[in-house]
Amino acid sequence: MNLAVRPLTAMIDPEAGPPDCATYEQRGGWQATRRTLNGLAPGEVIDIVTRSRLRGRGGAGFGTGQKWSFVPKEPASERRKYLIANADEMEPGTFKDRWLLEGNPLQLIEGMLLAAYAIQAGHGVVFLRGEYHLACQRLERAISEARSRGWLGENILGSGFSFDIHVHSGAGRYICGEETALLTALEGRRATPRSKPPFPQTGGLWGAPSVVNNVETLCNLPHILVNGPEWFVGLGTGGDGGTKLYGVSGRVRRPGAWELPIGTPLRQIIEDHAGGMRPGYELRALLPGGASTAFLDVTSLDIAMDYGSVEKAGSRLGTGTAIILDDRTCPVGMILNLEHFFAQESCGWCTPCREGLPWVERLLAAIEEGTGEHDDLDQLARHGRMLGMPGRTFCAHAPGAMAPLASGLKLFAEDFAAHITRRGCPLRHAA
């Protein structure tokens, strides 16, 4: 296993399929479990992960070890606690977790086992996107084999620690990417966010202490605990530790996903790995971390793709999957498409999001169709300010939805104005 280059994806072979337990162990799997369960206290695991600077790979970028430290310290045998893997992956333009789930589900299982030991949770749940049928089949098969070989279940490796995993296929709601809405959905209720406090670490699934981590986050754990936190920090190019799964979609030569050192420059990802733009197309702008991040233009191509650098550039790293806008695609139409998605995916719990997002969609549709007015731009900008500020809606759904709109109104001001003065999309008229 070439851990120094790409620890997460070294065992992923699309032609051979996912490894079984024996192959996984031959290539270095389960080493972290043996070392941890037989030689480390839960608090020591949390300390190692904290020192590794592993940050949540689902979009928020919160420190993983810090998140775990808020969980009450009672052993799993004394208190019910849950470890949940968020495998919903409904962010438009994002497909990194699917690669991990289909390519090597045992890596996720071991990562969940290690995280559960750290927080002393006896119960694990994978909240899986319902459309990921192949991932579900492979994950269920891997869990069954791991259980039969003693890597899941009672008294694992004679350590006294017991842990098992259940797969829950979701019904397909974007809001379930918000951790408290995910917990509510797991309880069989309508997927709406919860007020905080209590935070999930103290009062989560069915009121019990719970931790929700992203698939990519959890898959890093076996490698950190085998190779050490200093090794993991050394994989990154800046202040963040480890590698990152970066993706690119749009009119590039080779759309896809690659595991690279976190902090790899955006230009290198697009030009070297995605192959640059297709012939006849030029890069105009991009969303660097999925649909709920702000646009960056071509002047930002040399930024490092880490949390701090992307934030300084005016956007967010998010899931690290760039959506490319080329010079032959209408930015107004692209933003309309995104806002249509966000409007229909609102859970409807709070008025600003429930009423505001459909109104934004209608205004954008009118501009794109040629019936918009200049005053509509002021209305859109006002919605971008009101809905985009955290704390004015119940969760981060509306602020995320406003990121491409607010940034697009500034970056593509001439395009919006041309739609209104020329009564429709100039690109469509030219065609």
Three-state helix/strand/coil letters over 176-193: HHCHHHHHHHHCCCCCCC
pLDDT digit string (tens) for the chain, length 431 residues? 344 568 999 999 988 999 999 999 999 999 999 999 999 999 999 999 999 999 999 888 899 999 999 999 999 888 999 999 999 998 888 999 999 999 999 999 999 999 999 999 999 999 999 899 999 999 999 999 999 999 999 999 999 999 999 999 988 789 998 999 999 999 999 999 998 889 999 999 999 999 999 999 999 999 999 999 999 999 998 788 899 999 999 999 999 999 999 999 999 999 999 999 999 999 999 999 999 999 999 999 999 999 999 999 999 999 999 999 999 999 999 999 999 999 999 999 999 999 999 999 999 999 999 999 999 999 999 999 999 988 888 899 999 999 999 999 999 999 999 999 999 998 876 65
Task: Identify whether 380 is part of a domain.
Answer: yes
Tell me, yes or no, whether 29 and 130 share the same domain.
yes
Tell me, yes or no, whether 68 and 183 share the same domain.
yes
Number of domains forming the structure of the chain: 3
Tell me, yes or no, whether 288 and 165 share the same domain.
no
Tell me, yes or no, whether 36 and 158 share the same domain.
yes
Domain extent at residue 247: 243-317
Three-state helix/strand/coil letters over 80-104: CCEEEEEECCCCCCCCHHHHHHHHC
Task: Identify whether 16 is part of a domain.
Answer: no
Tell me, yes or no, whether 289 and 267 share the same domain.
yes
Residues 261-278, buried b or exposed e (16+ Cβ, 10 A)?
bbbbbbbbbbbebbeebe
Query: In sequence order, which residues have a C-beta less than 8 Å from that of residue 207 and are 6 or more positions away?
Result: none
Residue 255: closest CA among 235, 275, 230: 275
Tell me, yes or no, whether 215 and 172 share the same domain.
yes
Task: Identify whether 359 is part of a domain.
Answer: yes
Task: Identify whether 365 is part of a domain.
Answer: yes
Task: Identify whether 200 is part of a domain.
Answer: yes
Token pair in block for residue 328: 């032959």
Task: Identify whether 3 is part of a domain.
Answer: no
Q: How far out from the chain centre does Cα 36 lie?
A: 27
pTM of the complete model: 0.94
What is the Cα–Cα distance from 279 to 252, expressed in whole angstroms? Answer: 9
| 171, 132 contact by CB (below 8 A) | no
Tell me, yes or no, whether 398 and 349 share the same domain.
yes
pLDDT at position 1: 38
Tell me, yes or no, whether 168 and 299 share the same domain.
no
pLDDT at position 338: 97
Task: Identify whether 8 is part of a domain.
Answer: no
Task: Identify whether 379 is part of a domain.
Answer: yes
Token pair in block for residue 96: 């990194």
